[in-house]
Structures are given as C-alpha cells and as structure tokens.
Amino acid sequence: MVIYETEADRANESAIFGTVTRKYNCKVEPCEQLSYADGYLLYEDESRGAVVEVKKRNNAHNKYPTYMLSANKHSNLIDISTSQNIPALLFVGFTDGIYATKLKSEYPTAKGGRRDRNNPLDVEDCIYIPMNEFREI
C-alpha cells in the first residue's frame, strides 16, 4: 500500500483544526494515522461532540459545483457517527477560506479520484456533496 500523506498534509490538517477549535471553543482528539477519521471535536467536559474529517484543496470553494469524497471514507464516518450518536463533520480548507458541512447518509455517487499518479487505487466510488451545503467558518 502506498501512503501519500506527508508532513505538509499533517501541518495543513493541524492548521485547520486550530481554526476550528478557536472558532468553536472546543478541543480536538486526533485519531491515529490511517484511521477512518481525522479526529473528534471535544466539548469542555472532554465528551465527543462530533467525528471530523479534514481536507485541504488548492482551489477556491466555488470552482466546482460539488465536493468529491471517497464513498468508503464517507461510509466509515457515517458508521462512526451513528454508533456514537454524534454528527459527522467535514472541514475543507480552500484557498479562499475554511468551509464545513454536516455529512448526510446519502449523496449521489460515481467513480472519481486522481489519475495523475498512475495508481489504479486512486480511482474509486465517490460521493458528491453539493457545495451549497457548505458554510464558511
């Protein structure tokens, strides 16, 4: 298995989490590398308030009409959300701000992914979240 996550990716994730924790006055419990989620937002009493996935993109939030996410990642986030009775949130750092949405259980699906690395595992079933469901934080 090839792992593409870099130190820069982890730094981007940390920066986005920093903005989220300051904005919502909460803490983050990071998950282990290669977990199904990036972390949990914690209330003041340390209880879990949400399961969270964080992404970074090098384009403006309105460049595409939808945001593509691995269907497998989505399914795992929804499973965690359901089993722990907490929302699943997606935070995306775009070039023009950080945007968030609460994930729903159903979205349109189709094949998607990256083709520039010549890795067939980069193309998979994906969900497509309408960008109008995101809000800038």
State residue 4's pLDDT score: 57
DSSP SS3 for 24: helix
Residue range 51-91, pLDDT digits in tens: 999 999 999 999 999 999 999 999 999 999 999 999 999 99
**Average of pLDDT values for 37-57?**
91
**Average of pLDDT values for 43-47?**
88
Please name each of the domains of the chain with its CATH number.
7-136 (3.40.1350.10)
d(CA 122, CA 137): 29
State residue 3's pLDDT score: 53
Contacting residues for 118 by C-beta, under 8 A, at least 6 apart: none
State residue 53's pLDDT score: 94
